[in-house]
Amino acid sequence: MRFCVKTKKRNSIEQRISRKAFNFAVNLLNNHLKYPSAKNSLYNSSQINQCLIQLSLTQNYAESGIANLQIKTTTNNTHIPTGRTFRARTQRIEEKQIRKSLTNANDQLLQTLKNHGILKRKATVAIDYTTQPFYGNKNAKNIIGGKRDRGTNWGYTYASIDIVEAGRRFTIYTTTVTQFSEKADIVEELISNTKNRGVHIDIVLLDRGFYSVDVIAKLKTLGVYFIIPAVKNNTIKEAMQNYDAAQPTKRFTLGNKKKKNVTFNLYLYKRPADQLPKKKKKLTVSDLYFGFATNLPRSYVASIPMFIPSEYRCRWGIETGYRVQDNAQAKTTSVNYKLRLLYQMVSVLLYIAT
């Protein structure tokens, strides 16, 4: 009996928090996201936004999700549009306006956090790509190919920069990746927009997919500290074979020494015994060591030997963020990119707001 009382009390608190988060998100969207409509339109932007957030939180399709909402609504449901009307209204807004409106809403939320002192100190941030699988015509707008995932090689790809520290994880800025996007340009766009929003960057964490001359050169030009796992090519393996525990750091040049290249500090670490592969009979040098490309000064390793690998573990915060956003995104089979962009950017906003 006592357990039931506690459960009911906890559920009541969670419902109140969810209601406040829902109302906060709706008000935030209403301040920025307006839909074109005729003077005699039955539904205003606020009603459309309420449906949009409801679909996002329930991960539903427009037709079935709004139909369920109409059934569950105990009051007069004439203020709830049909799924067809909802889609027609949301698809009237231009792509440029979607980006501007949702970015401004995100910025307002960041400003609120800033006013509470949450962004006062420097932040460890991560940059990464996320892809939403697509099963339609691969020639649709902004569809790009990649690794096979959930039965398809095609999808919509987005890049984002997130603060990934425990206690303050949220997306600062997001952008669309197309088949013409260069990773170095994406990195510059994300970091520049982060600085423009008054976020002071401590270290940028990137996965090994960003290990390239262009990206590292761009990061150095932008004047930020970075940590990237080094791809274990022949030159990296040679450095691992010459590993010196007393001097685990060395200057390393990536690229053609006569033409296009970049230098950085290569930090090598010997993997702990409990992290070594257990199924391999004979371990290679790649199994025994791992390395990071960075421009952090050598004093970091001298003072705190495991600083870099422990700091890099924070990067998984952005993966967690993507999973949370997937759980707060409306579904659609439409090839209309504007609608998909709207759903994606709203999920980012809800990730921060809730």
pLDDT band at residue 77 under the 50/70/90 scheme: low
pLDDT band at residue 19 under the 50/70/90 scheme: low
Question: Distance between CA atoms of 210 and 204, rounded to whole angstroms?
Answer: 12
What are all long-range contacts of 319-323, with beta carbons under 8 Å and residues at least 24 apart?
A: 319/128, 320/169, 321/160, 321/162, 321/164, 321/169, 321/170, 321/171, 321/351, 322/128, 322/130
Q: Could you tell me which residue, 62 or 22, shows the higher pLDDT?
A: 62
What are all long-range contacts of 79-85, with beta carbons under 8 Å and residues at least 24 apart?
A: 79/43, 79/47, 80/47, 80/51, 81/42, 81/43, 81/47, 81/48, 81/51, 85/43
**Percent of the chain at pLDDT exceeding 70:** 92
pLDDT band at residue 155 under the 50/70/90 scheme: very high
Mean per-residue pLDDT over the chain, rounded:
87
Whole-number pLDDT of residue 20: 66
Whole-number pLDDT of residue 80: 87
Could you tell me the pTM of the whole model? 0.89
| Residue positions counted in the chain | 354
Helix (H) / strand (E) element for 14: namely helix 2-32
Measured at the CA of 98, the angle between CA 93 and CA 102, to 5 degrees, comes to: 140
Measured at the CA of 287, the angle between CA 286 and CA 289, to 5 degrees, comes to: 70
The one-character DSSP state at 146 is E
pLDDT band at residue 17 under the 50/70/90 scheme: very low
pLDDT band at residue 76 under the 50/70/90 scheme: low
Please tell me whether residue 265 adopts helix, strand or coil conformation.
Answer: strand
Q: How does pLDDT run across 21-30, given as a tens digit for each residue?
A: 667 878 889 9
Whole-number pLDDT of residue 41: 86
Q: How does pLDDT run across 95-137, given as a tens digit for each residue?
A: 999 999 999 999 998 898 888 888 889 999 999 999 999 998 8
